[in-house]
Amino acid sequence: MTLPQPRTDDGATALRCLLNAPSGAVLAFDFDGTLAPIVPDPRDARAHPRVIPELAALGRLVGATVIVTGRPADVAVSYGGLDGVAGIVVLGHYGLDRWENGRHTAPEPPAGVRAVRAQLPDLLDRTGAPEGTWVEDKGHALAVHTRRTADPDSALELLRSPLRALAERQGLVVEPGRMVIELRPPGMDKGTALRRFVADRGGTAVLYAGDDLGDLAAFDAVRDLRDQGVAGLTVCSGSTEVAALAERADLVVDGPDGVADLLSELRAALTARG
């Protein structure tokens, strides 16, 4: 294996900066679909077996490692075994909550989440949500999954507009994703979370890897950070389900397997440079 090369000049520049000055590098990752293979039941998601050892090794070589996920931060830590990576920070709920050094902090969920929780079963019933539709209650947000229905794309289309109307009535926003529509609090996204983290750590280079529409905001943040002099590399964990991210990425790899390969090659390249 060799270190995969970005297809853009900006991406190639960022990779060089990261390798030449790793102490200023921030490595940032989405969880599901990037570090963890997609599985039918969200409760079964686990980190790719090669990811945690690689992240632990990379954590000793770079400035900072951070996970930016739609999951509650403590759930991502538990499912991913992320507490095995010294110094890692996990920003959950698109940046609303935070796990660091074993400590989980989260704001109170807004009242709209409670109202949506109460109204969702009736709305799904009235809309004719097909068998297999499943609601994931994340405390600060509710995610309606269709992956386990007979026709997940059609089920998503059926639910899209009623879910948007419910979210709007309760002051929440919808976050579309891979066979899921999430109703969550407004005012935070992965881009804002990433910008703040890189600024806090004084990052000189950032790599962000994601797989889904929610990661587009983080890709935007990488572009903005470039304008501020931070070298930025966007990586898409490719799938047949999301085209929009691959089109925008400096580098596309083959799903979580490809991300694990990338981590391993990065670690080897940084180790070789001493």
Ligand X SMILES: O=P(O)(O)OC[C@H]1O[C@H](O[C@H]2O[C@H](CO)[C@@H](O)[C@H](O)[C@H]2O)[C@H](O)[C@@H](O)[C@@H]1O
The contact set with ligand X (CB under 6 A) reads 30-33, 38-40, 42, 45, 69-71, 136, 138, 143, 145, 147, 177-180, 182, 212, 214
Q: How far apart are CA 188 and CA 186, in angstroms?
A: 6
30 in active site: yes
Q: Measured at the alpha carbon of residue 47, what is the angle toward residues 51 and 39, in degrees to the nearest 5?
A: 135
Of all residues in this chain, which one has the CB nearest to ligand X in the complex? 70
Q: What is the DSSP letter of 138?
A: -
Sheet of strand 180-184, all strands in order from the earlier edge strand to the far edge? 134-137, 142-145, 180-184, 173-177
Residue closer to ligand X, measured from CB, 45 or 233:
45
- Shortest spacing between CB 45 and ligand X, in angstroms: 4
- Shortest spacing between CB 177 and ligand X, in angstroms: 5
Two structure tokens written together for 45: 């998601």
Of 10, 30, 151, 257, which one is the catalytic site residue? 30
- Shortest spacing between CB 55 and ligand X, in angstroms: 15
Strands (E), the chain: 25-29, 64-68, 89-92, 97-100, 103-105, 134-137, 142-145, 173-177, 180-184, 205-210, 231-237, 251-253
Residue closer to ligand X, measured from CB, 11 or 214:
214
Q: How far apart are CA 137 and CA 57, in angstroms?
A: 34
Residue closer to ligand X, measured from CB, 40 or 186:
40
- Shortest spacing between CB 39 and ligand X, in angstroms: 4
Residue closer to ligand X, measured from CB, 45 or 116:
45
Residues with catalytic annotation?
30
